[in-house]
Amino acid sequence: MTAVSSDAPVVGIDRIDCYTPNHYLDLVDLAHARGEDPNKYLIGIGQSKMAVAALDQDIVAMAANAAEPMLNAEDKANIGLLIVATESGIDQSKASALFVENLLGLDEHLRAIEIKEACYGATAGVQLACDYVRSHPGRKALVIASDIARYGLRTAGEVTQGAGSVAMLISRDPSILVIEPESLYLSRSTGDFWRPNYSTEAFARGKFSEQVYVGMFDELWDEAQGKGMARPEDLQALLFHIPFSKMGRKGLRSLESRIDGPDYERLTQRFESSIVYGKQVGNIYTGSIYLALLSLLENDDTLREGDRIGLFSYGSGSVGELYFGRLQPGYRDRLDPRRHQSALDARQQLTMEQYESMFEGQLATDGSTQTLTQTDPAAPHYLAGIKEHERQYR
């Protein structure tokens, strides 16, 4: 738990936006190709489509595309900390945040870093950003979660892939969600999911990873009960890291016998709103819980200003954190549900053949020059190619 002085500024999420590539695979097509019953994917996994990133939409381009629409000139001049959270890093040394800073045209008087801890990285970023703004109340912090989830063709994890970014501007007196300074967290080395440097695909002990996820949620929930931090009747929604919607549902279901029926029903109803976007996008790793937040805020008409929301963030390996926020007056004015759903609806559906060929297509790794064409005309930023081992962005 973090001790913050009671006169510290109120901080949290002032803006939130997302980007996901403009290609998707229908999971019914994937089920047919893999000889599975489509209901295994649609109901058992709880996903309907997954976003597929073309080579020109790497995590840097996606990150810049997520942040661009929500920033004005004043924000750009006031950002003192830029964090890109990713487990799909493009370089072992240089932070992807530096490319993003350039693409967004931010003032150079900022700290630009990359954070990695599997799907937990963005939450580490949000909490560091909140601490930064508490100690530099005149400045803002930009946190962007950006990832491409890859497991390999014909693996159990294949249906849980996806790609996308979520950007959040953290400021004092935020317009959307005030983040409470006290939160609960746990770090424990676990072999549930990992990606060695030599592999472009992740490895997972799938069933074990599900147990660790639910186990960590249970521990943090119980600790929160012991400390009086999460009275179910005070929580209007509880968000989960959503690698696939069934996973979050399993976390929530672990509360069914432990909290009162009306509270469980309310949290379940809100959970349905939180998975509307994720079911169409898939796992975006570190951004998944924040896509769930955006989905809840943009798809639930019953939430009210002042409502308290819990967030359970999980990253394999493993780190979990349970924290809380309160919705701010006028938060709906900061959202753009029509633009987000239209972008999802406008995506191009891939055939299985196109999907497999995109999966297997990789960037050059031998130093040769490679030129890419822009695949998403609506995206302001893209990777134009590679020259002398360096990525070239437009």
- Stretch of 41-49, 103-111, 227-235, 354-362 contacting ligand HMG, by CB under 6 A: 41-49
Is residue 119 near ligand HMG by the rule CB under 6 A?
Answer: yes
Q: Which of 61, 118, 238, 267 binds ligand HMG (CB under 6 A)?
A: 118
Q: Count residues binding ligand HMG (CB under 6 A).
A: 30
Site string for ligand HMG, 278-307 (x = CB under 6 A): -----x-x----------------------
The secondary structure of 121-150 as a DSSP string is: HHHHHHHHHHHHHHHSTT-EEEEEEEEEE-
**What's the Cα-to-Cα distance from 387 to each of 27, 143, 326, 368, 380, rounded to whole Å?**
36, 28, 47, 7, 21
CB atoms within 10 A of CB 90: 16
- Cβ-based nearer residue to ligand HMG, 41 or 132: 41
- Taking the complex as a whole, the smallest distance from the CB of residue 53 to ligand HMG amounts, in Å, to 16
Tell me how far, at minimum, the Cβ of 42 lies from ligand HMG, in Å: 8
114: contact with ligand HMG by CB under 6 A = no
Q: Which of 146, 184, 153 is nearest to 310 (CA)?
A: 184
Within positions 43 to 102, which residues make up the interface with ligand HMG, using CB under 6 A?
43-45, 87
The burial of 6, by beta-carbon neighbours within 10 Å (0-12 exposed, 13-18 middle, 19 or more buried), is given as exposed
- Nearest residue (CB) to ligand HMG, 174 versus 243: 243
Asked if 215 contacts 231 with a C-beta cutoff of 8 angstroms, the reply is no
* Interface residue with ligand HMG, options 86, 209, 280, 299 (CB under 6 A): 209
Q: Of these, 316, 340, 382, 391, which contacts ligand HMG (CB under 6 A)?
A: 316
Distance between CA atoms of 123 and 319, rounded to whole angstroms?
10
Our CB check for ligand HMG shows the closer of 317 and 385 to be 317
Q: Does 247 bind ligand HMG (CB under 6 A)?
A: yes
Which of these, 206, 261, 203, 254, lies nearest to 232 by C-alpha position? 261
Q: Which residue is nearest to ligand HMG (CB)?
A: 44
Stretch 126-185 residues interacting with ligand HMG (CB under 6 A): 156-157, 159-160
- Range list of β-strands (E), 128-272: 140-149, 162-172, 177-179, 184-187, 193-194, 203-204, 237-240
Minimum separation from the CB atom of position 378 to ligand HMG (A): 27
Closest CA to 51 of 176, 177, 163, 179: 163
Closest by CA to 324, choosing from 6, 1, 8, is 1
Cite the active site residues.
87, 119, 241
122 part of the interface to ligand HMG, by CB under 6 A = no
Strands 79-85, 111-115: parallel, antiparallel or unpaired by DSSP?
Answer: parallel
Residue 185 backbone phi and psi in degrees, to 5: -150, 160
| Closest to 65 measured CA to CA, from 359, 256, 343, 292 | 343
* Residue from 16, 204, 275, 309 in contact with ligand HMG (CB under 6 A): 204
Binding site for ligand HMG (CB under 6 A): 37, 39-40, 43-45, 87, 118-119, 156-157, 159-160, 192-193, 204, 206-207, 209-210, 213, 241, 243, 246-247, 283, 285, 314-316
